[in-house]
Amino acid sequence: MADEDAMRKQISDFYRDEFIRHKIRLEHQRPFVADSKFEEIETALDRIITEIDRICESENFEALASHLLHRFDVVTNLSESKVLPAFRVH
């Protein structure tokens, strides 16, 4: 059981880092996003980042997290970043 908990923690930390990278990218795009939309997206990212350990306990966590990352990538375009490859999602 301890191994399973450690694995979930590693997965949770990985996805938390990915969502944080999207948040950083979003902050750089702030001048190009309407304030209300920016706040809505930022609130969603903050909630996911804060609750990722709890979300990780769900049975379909990896599929859900992957889906959410893809949805945020549509907004931030992080996976296509040519400026700083370290900030790419994929």
Q: Is 47's pLDDT higher than 50?
A: yes
Q: Give the chain's domain count.
A: 1
Tokens at 42, concatenated = 């930022």
- Which residue, chain included where needed, has tokens 């702030």? 30
The pTM of the full predicted model, rounded to 2 decimals, is 0.81
Main-chain phi, psi angles of 81, to 5 degrees: -60, 125
- Structural domain boundaries enclosing 76: 2-87
Residues in the chain: 90
Query: What's the confidence (pLDDT) of residue 60?
Result: 87
> pLDDT of 20-42, one tens digit each?
999 999 998 999 889 999 999 99
For every residue of 2-54, DSSP letters joined together read: HHHHHHHHHHHHHHHHHHHHHHHHHHHTGGGS-HHHHHHHHHHHHHHHHHHHH
